[in-house]
Amino acid sequence: MAKIKGNKSSTRRDIIITKASALFREKGYSASSMRDLAEIVGVEAASLYNHISSKGEILQEICFKIANEFMSNIEKIDSSNISSIEKIEAILRFHVQHMLNHYEDVYVSDREWKHLPDPYLSNYQSQRRAYRQRMGRIIDDGIAKGEIKDIDSSTAVLIMLHAVSGIESWHRSKKKVPGELLEENMLMILIDGMRK
């Protein structure tokens, strides 16, 4: 008989990781204790270990899920047949939308990756580096083709990525501009700033 529920990922585990993400975002990874997390999940701290094997594993899961999503996105976009500046625009839109819709995960993986346990830390760092280099190459291409101003591409990458991560404070502010408007404003400023 066909099972209706998926056989692989236990839902309970996913709940824990989701709640951990919110907790880590709010208090930071190091200041969040397993007892804090347990209370939010509604369980004793020791019970968490029936679903995960360590605190670090939770962080690792969050970080690499996000890293993979961004990585496969940039690959898809970069191999498509559009201009450099359109590529950058598409990448930025993906960043903005991800930051709007998966706020907690993106924020945590951006801010707390330093605390990844050791085999994963260096792995994560090189993925990060690869991602930036890839963006940098797209920009350099755009400069070579005259679509983009003659700027230092690594500086441009740095501006783009950090500007987007500023959506963090948008989430916390009371009177929020609607998400679509935020996206259009961001794109307008950043793309116009680069365009020749």
Partner DNA sequence: AAAAAACACTAACACTTGTTAGCTTTATTG
Partner DNA sequence: CAATAAAGCTAACAAGTGTTAGTGTTTTTT
Q: Which of residues 47-76 bind DNA (CB under 7 A)?
A: 47, 49-51, 53-56
Cα–Cα distances (Å) from 22 to 36, 40, 82, 85, 102, in that order, read 12, 10, 37, 34, 10
> Per rule CB under 7 A, is residue 151 in the interface with DNA?
no
CB of 40 to DNA, least distance (A): 12
Q: What residue ranges bind a copy of itself (CB under 8 A)?
A: 27-28, 30-31, 111, 114-115, 149, 151-152, 154-156, 158-159, 161-170, 173, 177, 181-182, 185-186, 188-194
Closest CA to 72 of 9, 6, 130, 152: 130
Report, in Å, the least distance between residue 6 CB and a copy of itself: 36
Closer to a copy of itself at the Cβ: 47 or 125?
Answer: 125
Which of 22, 36, 78, 184 is close enough to bind DNA by CB under 7 A? Answer: 36
Half-sphere exposure of 77 (CA within 13 A, CB side): 23
Amino acid, single-letter form, for residue 7: N
CA distance 91 to 76: 10
- Do residues 164 and 99 touch, judged by C-beta distance below 8 A? yes
121 contact partners, CB below 8 Å, separation of at least 6? 113, 114
Of residues 15 and 151, the one with the C-beta less far from a copy of itself = 151
In the structure encoding, which two tokens stand for residue 180, read together?
């679509």
Looking at 14, 44, 152, 180, which residue binds DNA (CB under 7 A)? 44
Residue 184 neighbours by CB under 8 Å, 6+ apart: none
Q: Which of 35, 145, 162, 171 binds DNA (CB under 7 A)?
A: 35
CA distance 86 to 81: 10
Distance of closest approach, residue 106 Cβ to DNA, in angstroms: 22
- Partner touching 185 among DNA, a copy of itself, none, CB below 5 to 8 Å by kind: a copy of itself
* Interface with DNA (CB under 7 A): 3, 10, 12, 32-36, 43-47, 49-51, 53-56
